[in-house]
Every structure is written in C-alpha cells, then in structure tokens.
Structure 1
Amino acid sequence: MKTTPALALRGLLAAAGLAVLGYGIHGLLTMERATHPLQAARWLIGGILIHDLVAVPVTAVVGLLLTRLVRAPYRAVVQGALLVSAAVALASLPLWRGYGGSPDNPTVNPLPYGRNLAIVLGAVWAGAAALIAVRVARARRRLGSAPDPS
C-alpha cells in the first residue's frame, strides 16, 4: 500500500485528535471537584438529544421549504444566511438570555446582548439581500443582452 502525504497527514491529525480527546476525558474523570462528571454527562447527552430530535428535523424541514419557496440561484444565499444566523444565535444564547448574570454585579453581562444580536443578524440578512440583488441584476442583464430569436 502506498502512503501519500495526505494520508499521512490525515493519520497524524486523527492521532492528535484522539490524544486531545483522551486528555479531556482523563481530566473530566480525575478532577471531579472542578468538572462535575455527572453534570457534564447530562449536558453531553442533552446536546446529542437536542441535535438528533430538534436540530436535524428542523433543518430538514427548513431545507425542504427552501426548495419549494426560493428559486435555485438565490437558495444558496438564503441557506448561508440561515446557517450563519443560527450559529450566531446559538453561540450567543447564554449572553442574550442573560444566563450567568447577577443582579448584584451588573458588570457580569454589561452589554445589551439581545440588541447586539439583532444588529448582527440584520447585517447578515442585509448582506444576503445585497448578494441576491446583485444576482438579480446580473440575470436581468444577461436576459437583456440575449440575441433576439426572431
């Protein structure tokens, strides 16, 4: 069997990933006071269940609706904007929901995260709308410059 550089790199990256995974599991199981293994297991299992029972079906339904509602040249833009919107909203969920905040210490969550999320999502969708407008203009130009078949 021939070893290619890509195959060797893939094996090296897999070994490094497994080593990091092993280090994390070792830390989780040996530093019980700091890591709370049962709580970590609950979060891990909950994350898997939410992914499999909520995220995947919702993504499939939205994808099916997009194929029916959005024309092909613009569908990829809408899909990209939805993907970025979901990732940003989920990554910032603890902030805009106010988790971890303390009424006694207003400096813990000092910014209006809900408003800031709305600004970021507005920018994402404004960019998507601009890209769709460019594609519409290009399509119209192509149709206008097509030779007359008569």
Structure 2
Amino acid sequence: MEEIINKVANSVLEVFDLEDFFPKQSLQSIDIAEWLTEGIVLIEKDFRESLKNYDWLQYKDSYVSIFCSTDAILPAWTFALVAVNLKFIAIKVVAGSKHDLLLNLYQEKLEQIDFSIYDKKPVILKGCATKPVPNEAYVLAVQKLVPFAKSIMFGEACSAVPLFKISK
C-alpha cells in the first residue's frame, strides 16, 4: 500500500487565518436604551444616576461596544459618559455594534502585522471561519497581502478560490 502524502503540508503555500487574531477576551455590549425613559428619552439627571448605580465590574477585562437599540436622539456626550465609566475596567470601548467592535479590533491587529513575510509567496486567506470574523476584515487582509504575495486564494487548500496573482 502506498503512503498517503499531505501535499498541502509540504507546499510553500502560506495560510493566513484571521481566526488566529480573534479576541480571546470577552466581547460585550451595552445598550444605552435601558437607561432611557421609555427607551427613547434621555433625562440627564436620571441617566447619570443610573450610570452611578450600575455594576461596571461585569465588563472587567472585556472588549465593550456601546450602542442604542432604539431610534432615540441622543446628545453627543451620551456615549462618552458611558465610556468614562469603563475606562479603567474594560480593555477597549467602542461606540457601535459588536460587529463594529470586532472590525475595530481587526483593523488594529492587521496594522501591527509585518506582511513582508509573505513576499513572493502563494498565500491562502483561510475562509470557512467558525468564529464571526467580519467580512470587512477579509477585505482589509487582502489589501495588506496584495503588495507582497505572489498569489492569493480564498478558502481552504482543497477548494480555494483565486483572488490575485502577479502577472508575468
């Protein structure tokens, strides 16, 4: 019987997996609507009192997004005031959805990577994520890879979709 050889493992193909950069810490959200009268009216005195009595420690060492689930018209300082309460508790605070938070974290991480290590190499941008990697993160990653990679494919090695190849 002939030995089975893993050609993918033996190839020069580099795998870039965005799941490797998915935050390990908790991702949490705060809905400002819970502190609004009838979910839409901000009464400053009541709002400040609610924030003062809120259990902020539940967000310790977490990434936090602050949003409002209603169509309330809020003063610009609303999100900032909530963020002040999280400053020394949460790792990072973003105004927006959990998706916005994830995208922000991926933007930061992708800016820190030295993509020159992929110079003139075939790269597969791993797809089929089991974690909720934002589509925008794939767009950012491919923009960072294009100046260096010889070629870029998306998906898995067994069924990749070609995205880019340096023309000869």
TM-score bracket, shorter-length normalisation: under 0.3
Higher helix share: 1
Higher strand share: 2
Please, what TM-score do these two structures have when normalized by structure 2? 0.25
Tell me which of the two structures has the higher relative contact order, counting C-alpha pairs closer than 8 angstroms and 6 or more residues apart: 2
